[in-house]
Chains A and B, each alone.
Chain A
Amino acid sequence: MAERPQVPDSARNLGRDNTGDSPAARLTRLKEGDTVTARLFRFDPTAEAAPRFETYRVPYTKWMRVLEVLTYVSEEIGGDLAHRWFCANRMCGTCAVRVNGREVLACWEPAEPNMTIEPLRNAPVVRDLVIDRSEYERRVLDLTPWLERRDPYAGFPEPLTHPSMARADKALDCISCMCCFSACPVVGLGNETDFAGPAPLVQLARVALDPRDGIDRGRIAVERGAVFDCVSCYKCEEVCPVSIPIVTGAIEPLKALAFKSVVRKSRHARVFLAIVRARGRIDPSALILGVQRLAALRHPFRVLKLWRRGKIDPLKTLLGFRLPDIAQIRQVFAAVRGGRP
């Protein structure tokens, strides 16, 4: 077995050349006949009180993928591992699992020498690695992500250019694998937020950014998708197996549409702008207070934790900190049409 290079923990650094973890490097990390050790999550919620992990040793075959490890366990050793897959070709989007804490498609991800394999988060487990997709599907459906034409269909082929579709085009790569839905910390907050989650918003962006669509998608994004609850942490983009720029290419454009059509409900964007205009840059504690208002005080320990870690500085906020060259910033605001909240 070749020595495993040092790979930084952040999902953002995985699979990159400069971390020694490029696809090419992964092809040589293991040789045929080496052993892959897979620690698998096992759980039948109807019959067992708690999940457990079982460890299996699987012989490596050339360029092995995680799916082959799971299939070997279910067909050659265990016989009863529940894991879902259909196409093994990065198309059906049903085989996603977490490997060593990161969401991946089992069919596309190279096997690692040591793997802990768990089901996706933010969805109930049916058995072992299989999750119940129905809550995710309900959220997608709730956003009505199908084309509602602005003008009557003109007949085949309708007038349409690629540049006009370019903004929607990346979102069309989505295979509904739920990797981003599992990785999203805001979805992980459960009922504390109404955030629909990254993948449902990508589905919404497909039609919202389509020039043929004619309904107020911005309103849907904010009223049913709570799009401003996205904290732009980029976890979704880090794990997307088809490299969709989920934050910059789907969620931010939806926020922009929401700000245009329902300014009143786009409080996050309004407060954000007001702070930047007043102070020259964003002030996190002012942002939290402005968006959550009194609700922000419901979680005093969270506030203290943020303060201790330097994420917020209420003293600065109280002192009315502002950048010295604020006049320049205000000139920018004045120059940008529609920049006023």
Chain B
Amino acid sequence: MRRLVAEVVVIGGGAAGTFAALELHRRGIKPLILCKGLVGKSGASIFAGNLVVPGRLLGNTEQQARDTAEFLIRMHNHFLIDQHYARAAGEWIEREYYPELERAGLYLRRDDRGNVVTNDGPVRCMAAHSQGESGVLFMDLRRKQVLRAGIPWLEETAATALLTGADGAIAGVIALDLARGEVVAIESCAVILATGYADRFYPRSTATREMSADGIAMAWRAGAELMNLEIQWWHTSDVRFPLCWQRTQVYPNPIIGSSRSARLYNGDGEMFFDQEADAPAAMGPYTIQLKRLAKQVLAGKARFDGSYYSGFTHVAPGTVTTYTDYAKAFAALGKSVAADTLETACSAHYRQGGIVIDPTTMATRVPGLYVAGGVGGHSNGLIAPATYDGMLAAETVANDLARLRPAALPVDKVAAEEARLLGLRRPRSGNGTTPAQVKKALRAVMGEKMGFFKDAAGMNEALAAVTRLREDMLPSMGLTNVTPRLNHAWLDAIDVTNMLEVAALTIRGALHRTESRGPFYRTDFPDMDNGNWLVKNILTPMANGDVDFRTEPYDLPFLKPDFVRRPSLEVDW
């Protein structure tokens, strides 16, 4: 076992984590980044396709500024967001974020006369270099900034446990260096958790390979509270074939330089979604698309897993190819973006909920544990607010470091976690299961019972199935090859343990929320119920291992829904 000491550990190498580390470094504090993948290359941040133009930036009118704020609060978060936080993040993004990125060299696509290219419409976005590829450029920039600053990192190293001392405060992190197959114990009194907003709980998912709810599982075991885990987002227009392109979108967002966007068609060729006409203010129209698709499914004209189509055949080809890379999937399949549509299917996108934090500080209720980005329950983790979180978390840590007590790793907990990790690298017995098989079984359960349409009976069956997987499959799970070196099956074994725990909590949270809202839909409670459920659905870990549920209303200082109760499928957000 390798032992390290760090002033602050940042877990995650995406938009939130790298910015937190850079901000700490700027303040003279020495962070260590732990990244399960490669900094700036793994995770969801590279998928950032659209950069929303906030406030009065780039000549936004007063009305566009209002529409943009409303889009973020109503359509993108379904009012499950702290509006004071949303305002503070929006102001920072307008004032600091884009100038900082451009100053560092990010190229926001201009036209020939030098205007930043945006779409036309009530809510506008721009793109770094090419629409659809912005995240790659962002994260390449962050990776280089971190390298240039000399901030140390451990890549392909998965954090497996947050250790707390006798006082309940953070004392350090245990991690597995995947390439070397070595357990690493890092002593630190402050951790910023920035592991992202998605996990691969479903047969199709936009989460990248390494995402498996680790952050939520680790924070929960360290004593943090969780909220709104059940609010699962969906991508409606992801390419169905080839199967590995389940993250490849036929982007439904407006194309910059135009007001056009992709349309959805059922198998009979009938169009059932046109963002331009149906939801012009929906910059990311995912939930509206999803509800339109649900109606097609109910009418027997499509399935959530395919047999409907998306494309740009109504748009002049130049509109698609001038500023975007949206044609890349078409081209790689030998299809024409001008003439062909692609069969699409739903992929589980991100979970809106996550770890409970104070959105003015990013602190959790565990002393020394801070959160940034999508793994928090406070917002949905778009790249710009996630970066704001990184800044805020670093600022809070800088203020708190003086009063956080120097950490000392609890010897017994270190030994127990090391033993657990080494125990998961056991050889498979004759009829034992592999970690990949357990993951697959979990995804099948979630796909069948926890998709868009769900009800109490199905969710209780899902909970029972997940419990069976934990009790029956996990004990007999083993590896085909027990090499310690770059053994992804070993990592899968660690992942699936976290995934099963968080899946059970997610299902319980979903059972608790007796309404439908945004992308969360229950056939037994089909109404959006703003009277009772405009609340945080909070899960608290109890000392006896049980879960305590409570709800807490949102303060709604700026925007309120304009109805109390309505069938959710009829609501356009």
- Report A's interface with B, CB cutoff 8 A: 22-27, 44, 46-47, 61-65, 67-68, 71, 74-76, 78-80, 82, 85-94, 107-108, 126-128, 130, 133, 137, 141, 144-147, 153, 155-163, 165, 168-169, 172-173, 175-176, 207, 210, 212
| Contact sample, A vs B, 12 pairs, CB 8 Å cutoff | A62-B243, A75-B440, A86-B43, A89-B245, A89-B247, A94-B41, A126-B179, A137-B147, A147-B104, A156-B57, A162-B114, A169-B107
Q: Which of A67, A92, A157 has a CB less than 8 Å from the CB of B108?
A: A157
Q: Which of B326-334, B390-398, B497-505 contacts A (4 or more CB under 8 A)?
A: B326-334
- List the 10 shortest-distance A-B pairs measured between CB atoms, nearest first: A24-B334, A80-B481, A147-B105, A79-B480, A23-B334, A75-B436, A86-B42, A156-B99, A63-B242, A161-B114
User: B532 near A: Cβ within 8 Å?
Assistant: no
Report the minimum CB–CB distance from B106 to chain A (whole Å): 9
User: B38 near A: Cβ within 8 Å?
Assistant: yes
Q: Which of A144, A165, A207 has a CB less than 8 Å from the CB of B110?
A: A165
With A141-B147, A212-B105 in contact, do A86 and B179 touch (Cβ < 8 Å)?
A: no
Chain B hits for A76, CB < 8 A: 436
Q: In whole angstroms, how far apart are the Cα atoms of A168 and B247 in the complex?
A: 28
Report the minimum CB–CB distance from A110 to chain B (whole Å): 8
B479 touching A47 by the CB < 8 A rule?
no
Chain B hits for A162, CB < 8 A: 109-112, 114
Chain A hits for B104, CB < 8 A: 146-147
A78 touching B480 by the CB < 8 A rule?
yes
User: B37 near A: Cβ within 8 Å?
Assistant: yes
8 further A-B pairs in the complex, CB-CB below 8 A; given A147-B105, A160-B107, A160-B114: A68-B243, A74-B436, A76-B436, A91-B47, A94-B37, A162-B114, A163-B112, A212-B105
Size of chain B's interface in residues, with CB distance under 8 A? 66
A91 touching B486 by the CB < 8 A rule?
no
User: B144 near A: Cβ within 8 Å?
Assistant: yes
Q: In whole angstroms, how far apart are the Cα atoms of A44 and B485 in the complex?
A: 8
Q: In whole angstroms, how far apart are the Cα atoms of A62 and B41 in the complex?
A: 28
B332 touching A108 by the CB < 8 A rule?
yes
Q: In whole angstroms, how far apart are the Cα atoms of A8 and B130 in the complex?
A: 33
Chain A at the B interface: mostly helix, strand, loop or mixed?
A: loop
A62 touching B242 by the CB < 8 A rule?
yes
User: B103 near A: Cβ within 8 Å?
Assistant: yes
Q: Which of B43, B145, B179, B328 has a CB less than 8 Å from the CB of A90?
A: B328
Using CB atoms, name the residue of chain A closest to B210.
A86
Chain A hits for B436, CB < 8 A: 74-76, 79
User: B570 near A: Cβ within 8 Å?
Assistant: no
A80 touching B483 by the CB < 8 A rule?
yes
Chain B hits for A64, CB < 8 A: 242-243
Chain B hits for A86, CB < 8 A: 37-38, 41-43, 208-210
Chain A hits for B243, CB < 8 A: 61-62, 64, 68
Chain B hits for A157, CB < 8 A: 58, 102, 108, 116
Chain B hits for A169, CB < 8 A: 107, 129
Using CB atoms, name the residue of chain B closest to A64.
B242
Chain B hits for A146, CB < 8 A: 104-105, 141, 144-145, 148
B334 touching A25 by the CB < 8 A rule?
yes
Chain A hits for B245, CB < 8 A: 65, 88-89, 107
A159 touching B114 by the CB < 8 A rule?
yes
Q: In whole angstroms, how far apart are the Cα atoms of A129 and B351 in the complex?
A: 33
Q: In whole angstroms, how far apart are the Cα atoms of A147 and B98 in the complex?
A: 16
Q: In whole angstroms, how far apart are the Cα atoms of A88 and B41 in the complex?
A: 12
Q: In whole angstroms, how far apart are the Cα atoms of A120 and B144 in the complex?
A: 23
User: B60 near A: Cβ within 8 Å?
Assistant: no
Chain A hits for B334, CB < 8 A: 22-27
User: B507 near A: Cβ within 8 Å?
Assistant: no
Q: In whole angstroms, how far apart are the Cα atoms of A153 and B140 in the complex?
A: 20
Q: In whole angstroms, how far apart are the Cα atoms of A75 and B492 in the complex?
A: 10
Report the minimum CB–CB distance from A85 to chain B (whole Å): 6
With A44-B483, A92-B41, A92-B208 in contact, do A67 and B144 touch (Cβ < 8 Å)?
A: no
Q: Which of A27, A82, A93 has a CB less than 8 Å from the CB of B487?
A: A82
A23 touching B333 by the CB < 8 A rule?
yes
Q: Which of B129, B208, B242, B434 has a CB less than 8 Å from the CB of A68?
A: B242
Q: Which of A65, A133, A155 has a CB less than 8 Å from the CB of B242?
A: A65
Report the minimum CB–CB distance from B431 to chain A (whole Å): 14
Q: Which of B131-139, B221-229, B265-273, B279-287 contacts A (4 or more CB under 8 A)?
A: B131-139
Using CB atoms, name the residue of chain B closest to A22.
B334
Q: In whole angstroms, how far apart are the Cα atoms of A96 and B104 in the complex?
A: 29
Using CB atoms, name the residue of chain A closest to B343.
A62
Chain B hits for A155, CB < 8 A: 99
Chain B hits for A22, CB < 8 A: 334
Chain A hits for B489, CB < 8 A: 74, 79-80
Report the minimum CB–CB distance from B266 to chain A (whole Å): 20
Q: In whole angstroms, how far apart are the Cα atoms of A141 and B148 in the complex?
A: 8
Chain A hits for B99, CB < 8 A: 153, 155-156
A67 touching B486 by the CB < 8 A rule?
no
B116 touching A91 by the CB < 8 A rule?
no
Q: In whole angstroms, how far apart are the Cα atoms of A144 and B334 in the complex?
A: 38
Chain A hits for B355, CB < 8 A: none
User: B419 near A: Cβ within 8 Å?
Assistant: no
B135 touching A91 by the CB < 8 A rule?
yes
User: B514 near A: Cβ within 8 Å?
Assistant: no
Q: In whole angstroms, how far apart are the Cα atoms of A90 and B248 in the complex?
A: 9
Using CB atoms, name the residue of chain A closest to B105.
A147
With A23-B333, A75-B440, A80-B480 in contact, do A67 and B328 touch (Cβ < 8 Å)?
A: no
Q: In whole angstroms, how far apart are the Cα atoms of A85 and B129 in the complex?
A: 24
B485 touching A156 by the CB < 8 A rule?
no
With A63-B242, A67-B244 in contact, do A91 and B136 touch (Cβ < 8 Å)?
A: yes
Beta-carbon contacts under 8 Å, B42-85 to A: 42-43, 46-47, 57-58
Q: Which of B47, B129, B479 has a CB less than 8 Å from the CB of A89?
A: B47
With A94-B41, A126-B486, A130-B486 in contact, do A176 and B140 touch (Cβ < 8 Å)?
A: yes
Q: In whole angstroms, how far apart are the Cα atoms of A85 and B209 in the complex?
A: 7
Chain A hits for B110, CB < 8 A: 160-162, 165
With A68-B243, A80-B479, A162-B109 in contact, do A175 and B485 touch (Cβ < 8 Å)?
A: no
Which of A22, A46, A78, A172 has its CB near the most chain B CB atoms (within 10 A)? Answer: A172
User: B113 near A: Cβ within 8 Å?
Assistant: yes
Q: In whole angstroms, how far apart are the Cα atoms of A64 and B332 in the complex?
A: 12
Which of A26, A63, A133, A141 has its CB near the most chain B CB atoms (within 10 A)? Answer: A63
Beta-carbon contacts under 8 Å, B465-480 to A: 479-480
Chain A hits for B248, CB < 8 A: 88-89
Q: In whole angstroms, how far apart are the Cα atoms of A312 and B247 in the complex?
A: 51
Beta-carbon contacts under 8 Å, B549-571 to A: none
A23 touching B331 by the CB < 8 A rule?
yes
Chain A hits for B102, CB < 8 A: 153, 156-158
A91 touching B133 by the CB < 8 A rule?
yes
With A79-B436, A80-B487, A147-B104 in contact, do A88 and B112 touch (Cβ < 8 Å)?
A: no
Using CB atoms, name the residue of chain B closest to A168.
B107
Q: In whole angstroms, how far apart are the Cα atoms of A238 and B286 in the complex?
A: 38
Q: Which of B129, B147, B208, B434 has a CB less than 8 Å from the CB of A79?
A: B434
Using CB atoms, name the residue of chain A closest to B101.
A156
Using CB atoms, name the residue of chain B closest to A146.
B144
With A156-B102, A158-B102, A159-B114 in contact, do A68 and B244 touch (Cβ < 8 Å)?
A: yes
